[in-house]
Structure 1
């Protein structure tokens, strides 16, 4: 006896509904991934930083203090904040400034350590004291060849010996890599060669990290 055909197999819409269900499940999975991945990575990075600071700071104190940081995550961070505040208070008076000047003088006499300390000090002062217009403007730059454009950031106006090599105004431009904007290239570019955008630095970084998936809207076309 020949097998009877399954009526459901020829029922219209069965395969369509199955494919639609798979598409919805895939869309929900991707949506969940887009929501959970940034949160999970942020929590992981913050936890790793706190754990690292706890371990380093707790090692400077008696073992009993280290056990406290084991049960109270962030205790080492709190100690570090208190310690930095105390150091800042001490350096505000005459005796503290004298100790700081002597320490810097000693570091300045050490050949290798002198260069490292000077570089780190300049970077920290630039970032914390905001002595430079770093990452203030987002620009389009024709790079790495004519016809190709990339997002970049103006980090300041070119000065010093590099500026003396050119007759026109030059700017320091940082071209970030994708998807890791912490690395990139420093270029000295004529100001006329960059196109300044109204895009915020935050939106530009989001665009770089997302490899162009997150594209901010043009304020001129909104409203």
Structure 2
């Protein structure tokens, strides 16, 4: 119990370092395949430096963020999107991932910003869910406006789960943060967040 949290943390960090290194050296391997004489010896030398991929990938991400934060960088980003959205097969994957990432990680979006209590998988059985938005398009025309879209994570692995559309009247919004709710789910209810006071509803003052 003492060593388990530290061991898992180190394992996750090592996995992340290895993944970033693999991305970087995969790009280098592609260049060396094009020019094996010029790039081959350099790739071999760089392979001996542990963690170099992490540093260079992080630098590339920072540089990308700096570029797309100005007008010229945003223009190039639009050209990039246009290129990938016109390639058969690739455009289906690229558009789907882009829409999901824009929805989940956009600063002005509402996905995964509210924890909820819902009855699932049957009435009387309650679980934690996260609001991902509201139904749209053809689904909204069939269900109406008073529905919410929610994601129900599984335990202890919250990366898999179920997508449900429920009447707003059947969900209870929680005051706990999304981080606290995720911890509650992952720990299978053994780590409960601190109880928060419910907002006091004030009666409207009648005018005479």
TM-score range, shorter chain: 0.7 to 0.9
Spell out, residue by residue over 1:27-68, the C-alpha distance to the aligned partner (whole angstroms, 9 max, x if none). xxxxxx1x3212211111111111221132134344435544
**Aligned-partner Cα distance in 2 for 1:111–1:48:** 33
**Aligned-partner Cα distance in 1 for 2:58–2:27:** 14
Do residues 199 (structure 1) and 192 (structure 2) align? no
Cα displacement (A) at 1:204: 1.2
Work out whether residues 114 and 174 of structure 2, in 8 Å CA contact, stay in contact via their aligned partners in 1.
Answer: yes
**Alignment match, 1:137:** 114
Provide the aligned C-alpha RMSD in A: 2.5
**Alignment match, 1:37:** 4
**Aligned-partner Cα distance in 2 for 1:111–1:60:** 23
Cα displacement (A) at 1:160: 2.4
**Alignment match, 2:34:** none
**Alignment match, 2:136:** 159
**Alignment match, 1:70:** 48
SS at match of 1:60: helix
Spell out, residue by residue over 1:74-112, the C-alpha distance to the aligned partner (whole angstroms, 9 max, x if none). 321211122233344555454x55554444333222231
Cα displacement (A) at 1:134: 1.6
**Alignment match, 1:110:** 87
**Aligned-partner Cα distance in 1 for 2:44–2:62:** 21
1:216 to 1:90, Cα distance in 2 relative to 1, 3 A: closer
Match of residue 84, structure 1, among 56, 61, 83: 61
Match of residue 188, structure 2, among 186, 211, 214: 211
**Aligned-partner Cα distance in 1 for 2:23–2:98:** 21
Work out whether residues 177 and 184 of structure 1, in 8 Å CA contact, stay in contact via their aligned partners in 2.
Answer: yes
1:54 to 1:117, Cα distance in 2 relative to 1, 3 A: same
Work out whether residues 104 and 112 of structure 2, in 8 Å CA contact, stay in contact via their aligned partners in 1.
Answer: no
Worse-superposed segment, 151-160 or 176-185: 151-160
Gaps of 5+ in 1: 1-32
**Aligned-partner Cα distance in 1 for 2:129–2:169:** 14
Cα displacement (A) at 1:209: 0.8
Gaps of 5+ in 2: 29-38, 199-208
How many residues end up aligned between the 2 structures?
186
**Alignment match, 2:99:** 122
Structure having the higher Rg = 1
